[in-house]
Protein backbone atom coordinates (compact mmCIF):
# COMPACT_ATOMS: atom_id res chain seq x y z
CA UNK A 1 0.00 0.00 0.00
CA UNK A 2 2.90 2.33 0.72
CA UNK A 3 4.22 1.83 -2.83
CA UNK A 4 0.88 2.89 -4.27
CA UNK A 5 0.86 5.99 -2.07
CA UNK A 6 4.44 6.85 -2.99
CA UNK A 7 3.67 6.50 -6.70
CA UNK A 8 0.70 8.82 -6.37
CA UNK A 9 2.64 11.33 -4.27
CA UNK A 10 5.65 11.41 -6.64
CA UNK A 11 3.39 11.89 -9.65
CA UNK A 12 1.42 14.66 -7.94
CA UNK A 13 4.61 16.49 -6.92
CA UNK A 14 6.18 16.09 -10.39
CA UNK A 15 3.10 17.69 -11.96
CA UNK A 16 3.18 20.48 -9.37
CA UNK A 17 -0.26 19.97 -7.85
CA UNK A 18 -0.76 20.69 -4.16
CA UNK A 19 -2.64 18.33 -1.85
CA UNK A 20 -5.34 20.97 -1.36
CA UNK A 21 -5.79 21.42 -5.11
CA UNK A 22 -6.05 17.67 -5.71
CA UNK A 23 -8.47 17.28 -2.79
CA UNK A 24 -10.61 20.13 -4.08
CA UNK A 25 -10.70 18.74 -7.63
CA UNK A 26 -11.52 15.20 -6.43
CA UNK A 27 -13.99 16.44 -3.80
CA UNK A 28 -12.01 14.77 -1.02
CA UNK A 29 -10.56 16.10 2.20
CA UNK A 30 -6.83 16.91 2.15
CA UNK A 31 -6.38 14.44 5.02
CA UNK A 32 -7.75 11.67 2.80
CA UNK A 33 -5.20 12.47 0.10
CA UNK A 34 -2.43 12.49 2.71
CA UNK A 35 -3.58 9.15 4.13
CA UNK A 36 -3.66 7.58 0.66
CA UNK A 37 -0.17 8.88 -0.10
CA UNK A 38 1.14 7.67 3.28
CA UNK A 39 -0.44 4.22 2.80
CA UNK A 40 -2.59 4.62 5.90
CA UNK A 41 -5.48 2.21 5.27
CA UNK A 42 -6.71 2.44 8.85
CA UNK A 43 -7.89 6.00 8.24
CA UNK A 44 -10.62 4.67 5.94
CA UNK A 45 -13.68 2.86 7.24
CA UNK A 46 -14.32 0.93 4.07
CA UNK A 47 -11.75 -0.67 1.79
CA UNK A 48 -14.06 -0.33 -1.20
CA UNK A 49 -14.19 3.45 -0.82
CA UNK A 50 -10.41 3.50 -0.53
CA UNK A 51 -10.16 1.50 -3.74
CA UNK A 52 -12.36 4.00 -5.57
CA UNK A 53 -10.40 6.93 -4.11
CA UNK A 54 -7.16 5.39 -5.41
CA UNK A 55 -8.73 4.79 -8.81
CA UNK A 56 -10.05 8.36 -9.08
CA UNK A 57 -6.80 9.85 -7.80
CA UNK A 58 -4.75 7.83 -10.31
CA UNK A 59 -7.06 8.87 -13.16
CA UNK A 60 -6.76 12.49 -12.03
CA UNK A 61 -2.99 12.27 -12.15
CA UNK A 62 -3.01 10.60 -15.57
CA UNK A 63 -1.66 7.26 -14.37
CA UNK A 64 -2.72 3.81 -15.49
CA UNK A 65 -5.25 3.29 -12.74
CA UNK A 66 -5.81 -0.36 -13.68
CA UNK A 67 -2.24 -1.22 -12.65
CA UNK A 68 -2.61 0.56 -9.31
CA UNK A 69 -5.96 -1.13 -8.64
CA UNK A 70 -4.43 -4.53 -9.44
CA UNK A 71 -1.60 -3.78 -7.03
CA UNK A 72 -4.11 -2.70 -4.39
CA UNK A 73 -6.16 -5.89 -4.89
CA UNK A 74 -3.02 -8.02 -4.49
CA UNK A 75 -2.14 -6.15 -1.31
CA UNK A 76 -5.64 -6.69 0.11
CA UNK A 77 -5.54 -10.36 -0.84
CA UNK A 78 -2.19 -10.81 0.89
CA UNK A 79 -3.51 -9.12 4.03
CA UNK A 80 -6.78 -11.01 4.19
CA UNK A 81 -5.37 -14.42 3.32
CA UNK A 82 -3.24 -14.29 6.49
CA UNK A 83 -6.25 -13.92 8.81
CA UNK A 84 -6.76 -17.00 10.93
CA UNK A 85 -10.13 -18.68 11.32
CA UNK A 86 -10.08 -17.89 15.03
CA UNK A 87 -9.77 -14.19 14.27
CA UNK A 88 -12.68 -14.41 11.85
CA UNK A 89 -14.82 -16.18 14.46
CA UNK A 90 -13.93 -13.55 17.07
CA UNK A 91 -14.87 -10.75 14.69
CA UNK A 92 -18.14 -12.47 13.90
CA UNK A 93 -18.96 -12.80 17.62
CA UNK A 94 -18.18 -9.11 18.14
CA UNK A 95 -20.61 -8.18 15.39
CA UNK A 96 -23.30 -10.45 16.83
CA UNK A 97 -22.79 -8.97 20.31
CA UNK A 98 -23.03 -5.47 18.92
CA UNK A 99 -26.31 -6.33 17.24
CA UNK A 100 -27.71 -7.73 20.49
CA UNK A 101 -26.87 -4.56 22.42
CA UNK A 102 -28.21 -2.12 19.86
CA UNK A 103 -30.93 0.14 21.14
CA UNK A 104 -34.14 -0.65 19.41
CA UNK A 105 -36.39 2.19 18.44
CA UNK A 106 -39.75 2.36 20.08
CA UNK A 107 -42.54 2.28 17.58
CA UNK A 108 -45.30 4.74 18.30
CA UNK A 109 -48.01 6.24 16.13
CA UNK A 110 -46.09 9.51 16.18
CA UNK A 111 -42.76 8.11 14.92
CA UNK A 112 -43.98 5.58 12.39
CA UNK A 113 -44.02 6.52 8.76
CA UNK A 114 -47.47 6.77 7.31
CA UNK A 115 -47.93 4.41 4.46
CA UNK A 116 -50.70 5.82 2.35
CA UNK A 117 -52.96 2.93 1.62
CA UNK A 118 -56.55 3.16 0.59
CA UNK A 119 -58.56 0.92 2.83
CA UNK A 120 -62.10 0.23 1.67
CA UNK A 121 -64.30 -1.77 3.96
CA UNK A 122 -66.26 -4.70 2.53
CA UNK A 123 -69.53 -2.97 3.44
CA UNK A 124 -68.73 -0.11 1.04
CA UNK A 125 -67.81 -2.55 -1.73
CA UNK A 126 -71.04 -4.54 -1.27
CA UNK A 127 -73.04 -1.31 -1.17
CA UNK A 128 -71.57 -0.13 -4.49
CA UNK A 129 -72.32 -3.52 -6.07
CA UNK A 130 -75.94 -3.44 -4.84
CA UNK A 131 -76.46 0.10 -6.14
CA UNK A 132 -75.07 -0.88 -9.56
CA UNK A 133 -77.33 -3.94 -9.70
CA UNK A 134 -80.36 -1.82 -8.79
CA UNK A 135 -79.56 0.68 -11.55
CA UNK A 136 -79.18 -2.11 -14.12
CA UNK A 137 -82.43 -3.73 -12.93
CA UNK A 138 -84.27 -0.40 -13.21
CA UNK A 139 -83.20 0.09 -16.83
CA UNK A 140 -84.14 -3.45 -17.77
CA UNK A 141 -87.52 -3.08 -16.04
CA UNK A 142 -88.20 0.27 -17.74
CA UNK A 143 -87.43 -1.28 -21.14
CA UNK A 144 -89.80 -4.17 -20.43
CA UNK A 145 -92.61 -1.77 -19.50
CA UNK A 146 -92.47 -0.08 -22.89
CA UNK A 147 -95.58 -1.21 -24.84
CA UNK A 148 -93.81 -1.48 -28.13
CA UNK A 149 -91.19 -3.75 -26.63
CA UNK A 150 -93.75 -6.02 -24.98
CA UNK A 151 -95.89 -6.52 -28.08
CA UNK A 152 -92.85 -7.11 -30.16
CA UNK A 153 -94.13 -4.81 -32.89
CA UNK A 154 -92.80 -1.56 -34.01
CA UNK A 155 -95.30 1.14 -34.80
CA UNK A 156 -94.29 3.28 -37.71
CA UNK A 157 -96.21 6.45 -38.09
CA UNK A 158 -96.97 7.28 -41.61
CA UNK A 159 -97.02 10.81 -42.71
CA UNK A 160 -100.27 11.90 -44.21
CA UNK A 161 -99.93 13.94 -47.34
| Residue 131 in this model has a pLDDT that exceeds 90 | yes
pLDDT band at 103 (very low <50, low <70, confident <90, very high): low
| Residue 88 in this model has a pLDDT that exceeds 90 | no
Contact between residue 53 and residue 36 where contact means Cβ atoms under 8 Å apart: yes
Q: How many CB atoms lie within 10 A of CB 50?
A: 20
| Residue 68 in this model has a pLDDT that exceeds 80 | yes
| Residue 93 in this model has a pLDDT that exceeds 80 | yes
| Residue 159 in this model has a pLDDT that exceeds 70 | no
pLDDT in tens, 132-143: 999 999 998 888
Question: What topology is assigned to 2-83 in CATH?
Answer: 434 Repressor (Amino-terminal Domain) (1.10.260)
Label residue 56 exposed, middle or buried (CB < 10 Å: 0-12, 13-18, 19+).
middle
d(CA 70, CA 67): 5
Q: How many CB atoms lie within 10 A of CB 77?
A: 10
d(CA 149, CA 152): 5
DSSP state of 34: H
d(CA 20, CA 31): 9
| CA atoms 139, 145, 146, 151: torsion sign | positive
d(CA 86, CA 77): 18
pLDDT in tens, 56-67: 988 888 888 888
Question: Percentage of the chain with pLDDT > 90?
Answer: 9
Amino acid sequence: MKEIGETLKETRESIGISIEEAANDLKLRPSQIENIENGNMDAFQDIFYLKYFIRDYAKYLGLKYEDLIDEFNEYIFDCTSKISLDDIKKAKKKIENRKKHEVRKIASPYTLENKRQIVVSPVVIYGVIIVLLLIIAYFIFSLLQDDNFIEGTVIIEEESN
